[in-house]
Amino acid sequence: MRNPDESSDLGERAKTDVRRQTAVAPPRVTKPLEWWLTRQLVRVLSGIGRILPDSALSPLGRAVGDLAWSAMPRYRRVALANLHRVYGAEWDEQQIDATARTSFRHLGITLLEFFLQEPRITGEEVDRRVRFEGQEHFEAAFARGKGVILITAHYGNWEMMGPRLARAGYQVSAVSRTADDPATERMIESIRTRCGLRQIPRRQAARLGLAALRRNEILAILMDQNTAEGGVFVSFFGYPASTATGPAVFALKTGAALVPTFCLRETNGTHVMRADPPIYPESTGNRDQDIRRLTGRLTGAIEAQIRERPELWCWLHNRWKLQPEASAVGPGEAAPAAMRS
């Protein structure tokens, strides 16, 4: 019989090492207006999607990306700073600038594909638009009977993986951040669930994620963003990055295999969803060390994919925002991700 405290115990264990205590800032008075404007934008995009030919999505998405590049200087600076950090010793300014701009354009295309295309896409169109490579890796992982943890990133069109996996006959639950505005969240969730995806809010990830794995299903987790609480520092492009430990904790607790999977956009507007060979959790008896080692390995798989086609990643995210104190981390070590922002 399962311990009734098991799910809550998993949630607590995911919050490894030092916890950073932060004051919760009161919501800005402009928040309701921002939420309303967001809802109107989504409704307008949905309306456009009903009459816009698919051939117009990429050009319009690139234009949205160019507009964001010009109108959002803070994110532009973050993208350029990230690329300088990673490729400054290899690339010239022109290549860094071009990759940052292209990254914005790809994100613009992904935004339109999600809000304009996915609400009306058919299963046959999903099959035609998304080629599935490496399905044998999922089958090998499922053979253990412990579920599969899909590891991915905000790369290419990650939103198309749920529909394609559903078409292949898999049940997928994805851990996701809930939108601040409840009405916008309902719109987003309706699109995802229409295509066969179950959405798990982060605050319920421990309980519902365990349940999905016990049903021998796919639990999808994006783990390429800065983690303010409960993470560990692992190397990402040679720099310490605060990283969520949830996937490693799930895998070590359940024995589920982890399958890094990414959806790459092709030049003709289609996609390739590519699964890598499974990564199996190994327990040495040192829980903290096992979590850090496995988290580092998963982060390395994400880094390797980004290096293949850097323009498909969201460089505008401040991935290295949280940093360890210099004295807290020795050469090659991982450290608790709660040191310094």
Half-sphere exposure of 237 toward its Cβ, with a 13 Å CA cutoff?
Answer: 21
As a whole number, mean pLDDT of residues 25-46 equals: 67
Say which residues have a Cβ less than 8 Å from residue 222's Cβ, sequence separation at least 6.
152, 153, 154, 158, 175, 176
What is the residue type of 105? R
Which residue has better confidence, 245 or 53? 245
CA 239, CA 50: separation in Å to the nearest integer? 44
pLDDT of residue 263: 98
**pLDDT > 90? residue 272:** yes
Q: What pLDDT shows up at residue 338?
A: 45
Q: What percent of the chain has pLDDT over 90?
A: 70
Instruction: Quickly state the pLDDT bin for 6 (edges 50, 70, 90).
Output: very low
Q: How far apart are CA 145 and CA 52, in angstroms?
A: 44
Task: State the pLDDT at residue 43.
Answer: 74
Q: What are the φ and ψ backbone dihedral angles of 200, each rounded to 5 degrees?
A: -115, 115
Check whether 72 has a pLDDT greater than 60.
Answer: yes
Count other C-beta atoms under 10 Å from residue 183's C-beta: 12
Q: Give the per-residue pLDDT at 317.
A: 97
- Kindly list the strands in the beta sheet with 335-337, ordered across the sheet, starting from the edge strand earlier in the chain: 239-243, 231-236, 335-337
Scanning the structure block, which residue is given the tokens 């796919």?
Answer: 218
Rounded distance, CA 15 to CA 125, Å? 41
Q: What pLDDT score was predicted for residue 30?
A: 63
pLDDT, position 32: 73
Q: Is residue 285 packed enough to be buried (19+ CB in 10 Å), middle (13-18) or exposed (0-12)?
A: exposed
Please say whether the dihedral angle defined by the alpha carbons of residues 111, 116, 117 and 119, taken in this order, is positive or negative: positive
Which token pair is 33? 């207006």
71: Cβ contacts below 8 Å, ≥ 6 apart: none
Structure-token pair, residue 98 = 């071009």
Q: Is the pLDDT of residue 47 over 80?
A: no
Please state, in angstroms and rounded to a whole number, the distance separating the CA atoms of residues 149 and 218: 6
- The neighbouring-strand residues paired with 222 are 152
How confident is the model at residue 24, as a pLDDT? 39
* Distance, CA of 341 to CA of 337 (rounded, Å): 10
What confidence category does residue 303 fall into, taking pLDDT thresholds of 50, 70 and 90?
Answer: very high
User: How far apart, in whole angstroms, are the C-alpha atoms of residue 280 and residue 282?
Assistant: 6
pLDDT digits (tens, 9 = 90+) for 145-161: 999 999 999 999 999 99
Residue 264 has pLDDT above 90, yes or no: yes
191-229 pLDDT per residue, tens: 899 888 999 999 999 999 999 999 999 999 999 999 988
Q: Which two tokens stand for residue 76?
A: 């532009």
Tell me what pLDDT residue 3 has.
44
Axis crossing angle, helix 6-14 with helix 246-254, rounded to the nearest 10 = 140
Q: What angle do CA 156, 175, 314 make, to 5 degrees?
A: 25
C-beta separation of 64 from 111 below 8 A: yes
The CA-CA-CA angle for residues 310, 314, 315, to 5°, reads 75
CA 324 to centroid of chain Cα atoms? 23
3-state secondary structure of 284: coil
Structure confidence at residue 12 as a pLDDT band (50, 70, 90): very low
CA 97 to chain centre: 24
| C-alpha span between 218 and 175 (Å, rounded) | 11
The mean predicted confidence, pLDDT, of the chain is: 87
Structure tokens given for 190: 């309706």
Q: In the prediction, which pLDDT does 29 show?
A: 53
Q: According to the model, what pLDDT value does residue 21 have? A: 33
